């Protein structure tokens, strides 16, 4: 999650307040893996965001972002999917609020799931999208990959350890991790 | 599941073979609760089948039926939903093969989940349908009810104990059992 | 969750900081339903806390509390179970970090899940305890009830709407909501 | 599952009846991954059975077997765990009947999950064992491996494709697939 733009933290949190909050409590996030399904509803491809990092390199990531004050988890999913995939992506937010995984990220170097900015806890979902995806924002590109392509070391190596793990867990959850 | 027509057991099982199989092994079923979702994907209504029983009364039920030899669970869901809701119902079969509940029915009088015909194990799913539902078959009617309406004693009392339990579990799973 | 003592918020949050944080971000909680299992591991009883509320009345509740900065969800479960059930309760924290329910509480009057203090998101777990439970703290008593006893209107009426819903969802999850 | 001894199919199924049933309906199985947990309940090791195959080679497998007529899924888990791990293994059968995966095996050469004997559907569970494991039966050995050891190509290569997939899914489910 280290590649999340800090711009999405809401207008009512000043930089000072945000810095304070991030030193005081775990911050709640959502992660979403967009997927394409075929006419019968079976998973065909997963969507990964290609974005630039602060270090100037390229990384792949799930859709990810903070849950704002007074916002439901469902609304946060909708907002971040629209922000990253554009307004015509037509995501099908899951009926059940149960995540397929709970990610825990700590600002301690050496943590398996490391986030230098904060202690974050993320609820992760698989979300079919049926419309037109047009990433804008700070996202460079959205690439669609088959499960087999997504599970290659090259692709996994472009992801943070946390997101690579969530991708594997997502494919396990839908019965597509062979 | 005592209200399942025996006609859906497949042409390659003679009555004699079927009778034998039902005395020898647990029979695998699927149960599906059709639901309507609003434009944002939130559950609005659940669909319950009204059908005639052998005893001449009326009962409410989920979509339910056997998984055939060589058929995947997904294919069984599609087949039974089409059989009970018609070919234009456009069900969205869940991506994940994980059921929200596992039902176990025994032919022993007094079992909490009782099926006089067999020992059956059922995998249960919530399935959004977005098309036109036109029940045919031996189904009399499909009624759409809000979660609150479906959870009234009158409605639950029209269901077998097993299906009433599955309905409650389905609403719990999607966070709508208050 | 309105019956959670504010004392468990950690020494490194001053009252001023806490008040600030609670107006700025959703606060992450855990909820746990302690259960007794028989020799074969089947659920026998659920444990509900009887505690005094600020209003001077008595209420029933699940074990509930905040996840602290730098604390894992598992550690938060252990800490709150020990705090409420005593050090000899010997809880068996679930292997999987996946909750059976996600609770969302809002400080808006009229919300189905209402918490006047904050916007809270809670991950809920069923936790078998096999040792001696000796509630101390601000808890008055721990009562063990069969699923049937716990689901009576009298017992549910002593719980907040959120916790009553979580209890039903927990029993649905373990296949004991009939 | 091709390494399951046919001896566990129950005395009330003659070879002729069994052969008939296996050509007529899907056969219900359970799969169980035994695990060791530490004092705090965190997964330390997974247990894999080493057994001889009909072809004279050695293979690794999960605990696996058929659900018998009139037997609950829980009873089938208990019976197969005792059969493969001995009577002192003290397995902790999960409270919830929900599997972490549903395996579908077909007798069609080329199926991703192939079982030459039958169409089988398996409900898969992770089961902590806290006692002494003494495999007897046709099992040669039970080996305990850390998640990292179990996920090496050497170990996965000793398993059927189906069981290797279930192992990965199990570790994903408990948050230990990195």
* Pairing state between β C43-52 and D43-52: unpaired
Sign of the CA dihedral with C66 first, then C72, C74, and C76 last: negative
Highest mean pLDDT among A22-26, B18-22, D16-20: A22-26
Residue A125 contacts residue A167 (beta carbons within 8 Å): no
- Domain carrying residue D87: 14-173
Does the structure show a pLDDT above 80 at A89?
Answer: yes
* Residue A177 to residue D168, Cβ atoms within 8 A: yes
Please give the Cα distance from B48 to B142 (Å, whole number): 6
Query: Within a 10 A sphere around the Cβ of D119, how many other Cβ atoms?
Result: 24
Q: Which band of pLDDT confidence, cut at 50, 70 and 90, is reported for residue C60?
A: very high
pTM of the predicted protein model: 0.91
Binned at pLDDT 50, 70 and 90, residue A71 comes out as very high
Output Rg (C-alpha) for chain B, integer angstroms: 16
- pLDDT band (50, 70, 90) for residue C3: very low
Q: Give the chain D residue whose CA is nearest to the CA of A172.
A: D169
Query: Quick check: D40 and C93 CB within 8 A?
Result: yes
Asked if B112 and C178 count as a contact pair (C-beta separation under 8 A), the reply is: yes
Q: What is the CATH number of the domain that holds B47?
A: 3.90.79.10
Residue C78 contacts D where some CB pair is shorter than 8 Å: yes
Is residue B50 one of the residues assigned to a domain?
yes
Confidence class of residue B138 from pLDDT cuts 50, 70 and 90?
A: low
Q: What is the DSSP letter of B5?
A: -
For residues B167 and B177, what is the distance between their CA atoms, to the nearest angstrom?
Answer: 10
Give the model confidence (pLDDT) of B33-77 as tens digits: 999 999 888 999 999 999 877 777 889 999 999 999 999 999 999
- The answer to whether position D4 is within a domain reads no
> What's the gap between Cα B19 and its chain centre?
22
Q: Is residue A109 part of a domain?
A: yes
Question: What mean pLDDT do residues A58-86 have?
Answer: 94
Give yes or no for B36 touching A (CB within 8 A). no
For residue D153, the 8-state DSSP code is H
Q: Mutate one of D15, D25, D72 to test the B interface: name it (highest B CB count within 10 A).
A: D25
Is there a domain that residue C9 lies in?
Answer: no
Contact (Cβ atoms closer than 8 angstroms) between residue B34 and residue B85:
yes
Question: What end-to-end distance do the CA atoms of chain B give, in Å?
Answer: 26
Tokens of D98: 């929900």
Mean pLDDT for back-to-back runs of 10 residues, chain D (178 residues):
39 75 92 94 94 81 95 96 94 94 91 89 97 78 95 94 94 89
Query: Per the domain annotation, does B101 fall within a domain?
Result: yes
Is any Cβ of chain B less than 8 angstroms from the Cβ of D17?
A: yes
Nearest by CB to residue D95, choosing from C43, C78, C97, is C43
pLDDT band at B9 (very low <50, low <70, confident <90, very high): very low
List the single best residue of C75, C95, C171, C175 to mutate versus D (max D Cβ within 10 A): C95
The pLDDT score that the predictor gives to residue B139 is: 61
Q: Chain A: nearest CA to D165, how far in angstroms?
A: 5
**D5: in domain:** no
Neighbors of chain D with 3 or more C-beta pairs under 8 Å: A, B, C
Q: Where does residue A40 rank: exposed (0-12), middle (13-18), buried (19+ CB within 10 A)?
A: exposed
Please tell me the least confidently modeled range out of B58-62, C51-55, C151-155, D163-167: C51-55
- In-domain check, residue A3: no
Q: How many domains does chain C have?
A: 1
B71 vs B20, residue with greater confidence: B71
Q: What is the pLDDT of residue C11?
A: 43
Residues 6+ away with beta carbon under 8 Å from D28: B25, B26, B28, B121, D66, D67, D120, D121, D122, D123
In residues, how long is chain D? 178
Task: Give yes or no for A17 touching C (CB within 8 A).
Answer: yes
SS3 label, residue B112: coil
Top pLDDT among D5 and B161 is at B161
Domain for residue C128, yes or no? yes
Q: Is C50 exposed, middle or buried (0-12, 13-18, 19+ CB in 10 A)?
A: middle
Rounded Cα–Cα distance for residues D116 and D108 (Å): 7
């Amino acid at each position: 999650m280290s590649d999340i733009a800090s711009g999405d933290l809401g207008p009512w949190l000043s930089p000072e307040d945000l810095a304070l909050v991030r030193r005081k409590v775990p911050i709640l996030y959502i992660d979403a893996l967009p997927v394409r399904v075929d006419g019968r509803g079976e998973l065909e491809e997963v969507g990964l965001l290609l974005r630039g990092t602060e270090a100037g390199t390229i990384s792949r990531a799930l859709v990810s972002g903070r849950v704002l004050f007074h916002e439901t988890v469902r609304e946060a999913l909708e907002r971040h999917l629209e922000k990253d995939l554009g307004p015509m992506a037509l995501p099908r937010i899951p009926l059940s609020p149960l995540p397929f995984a709970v990610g825990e990220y700590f600002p301690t170097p050496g943590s398996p799931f490391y986030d230098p900015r904060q202690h974050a806890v993320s609820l992760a979902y698989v979300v079919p999208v049926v419309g037109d995806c047009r990433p804008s924002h700070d996202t460079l590109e959205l690439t669609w990959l088959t499960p087999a392509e997504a599970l290659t070391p090259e692709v996994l190596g472009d992801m943070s350890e946390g997101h690579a793990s969530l991708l594997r867990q997502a494919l396990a959850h839908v019965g597509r991790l062979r």
